[in-house]
Amino acid sequence: MRSNRRKRSYNKTIKNAKRRNKNTKRRIGIKRGGNLKHITMHMLCWKSPKTVKNTLESYKKGNLLSAVNTNIYFQERDDASNALAAEYGITSVMGTGENVGILRALIEMINATKTPYFMFAECDFELVETEQAVSDILNDAMKLIREKSVKVVRLINRKKPGPVYSLNGKDSSTQFDKAFPYKLETLHVLDTPESMFPGSFTIVQEGYNRKWYVCSFVDNIWSNQIFLADMKFMKETILPLLEKSKNANKYNGAEKMLDAECTATGALKDGLIAQGDGLFTHSRLNR
């Protein structure tokens, strides 16, 4: 009798351990076949400690810091920067005592990435969705890259994007012409952008957690706003373009050069880019 009780107690312990392990995997996004540890998120910061702290708090709350590999790059890195990273358990820290600009920082980040997926976040992109949404959307984003040949997935929140400078006050379909070069960004103000730009979008939803719009880089040119990308694409296509433009303006030279490469004749013209519900809002508290 005592032996049977011990056996039942042992079986219950094993069952509870398996349940705890399953719940832990859910919390870090190992769900529906995905593994968010295949993502390295690079966060670029410069002289904005309040903004950085606010952003990191949102990532901690949404369990993003535990779900993905996190690297933080400080322009003009100092002891206070290192202490802020340590406060949030971030051990992968890059940067030097000078401000090298986005272009060179991007080169260093790409070269330092060992995972299949590369995520770029400037420090003022606050997470505004739930832990479940983080899992759903990032798993979808990796699946779009694996199965639909998408190269870049934009992660700005559709309903709460923060300032969207390309829209410049536009908020209705009558204010866009067919040549508007940021068609995915109209998702923030149009319920059915596919009606405004027929033939520009492929809508992907079946087999995914959320609804996604996919188009070419010709229809939505490059932006440094927060995104997830195929690491092979970043190394084989984007890195050579950045290396070639090392002498461009270190603050906006990368974005301008990549914008130009999205035309019908550029190196990015055949690439696919996607956007859906998104996770982050553009929120800066101070410089």
Q: Could you report the average pLDDT of every consecutive run of 10 residues in the chain (287 residues)?
A: 49 49 44 77 92 96 96 94 95 92 94 98 96 97 98 97 82 82 94 94 97 97 95 97 84 86 93 98 77
Domain count along the chain? 1
Per the domain annotation, does 287 fall within a domain?
A: no
> Residue 153 contacts by C-beta under 8 Å, 6 or more apart in sequence?
141, 144, 145, 227, 228, 229, 273, 274, 275
Give strand pairing partners of 273.
152, 215
Chain-centre distance of CA 138, in angstroms?
A: 8
- Examine residue 276 and state whether it is found in any structural domain, yes or no: yes
In this structure, what are the phi and psi dihedrals at residue 45, rounded to the nearest 5 degrees? -130, 150
Q: What is the pLDDT of residue 95?
A: 94
pLDDT at 147: 97
**Would 14 be classed as within a structural domain?**
no
- Does some domain include residue 17? no
The range of the structural domain enclosing residue 190 comes to: 36-282
pLDDT for 26 equals 47
CATH number at residue 153: 3.90.550.10
Encoded amino acid at 65, one letter: L
Q: Residue 69 domain-assigned? A: yes
**Amino acid at the residue 274:** A
Measured distance CA(84)–CA(73) in Å, rounded: 12
Provide the pLDDT for residue 285.
74
Distances (CA, A) of 148 to 152, 200, 205: 11, 16, 12
Does a structural domain hold residue 20? Answer: no
Chain Cα centroid distance, residue 9: 45
CA of 232: how far to CAs of 70, 108, 165, in Å? 19, 15, 30
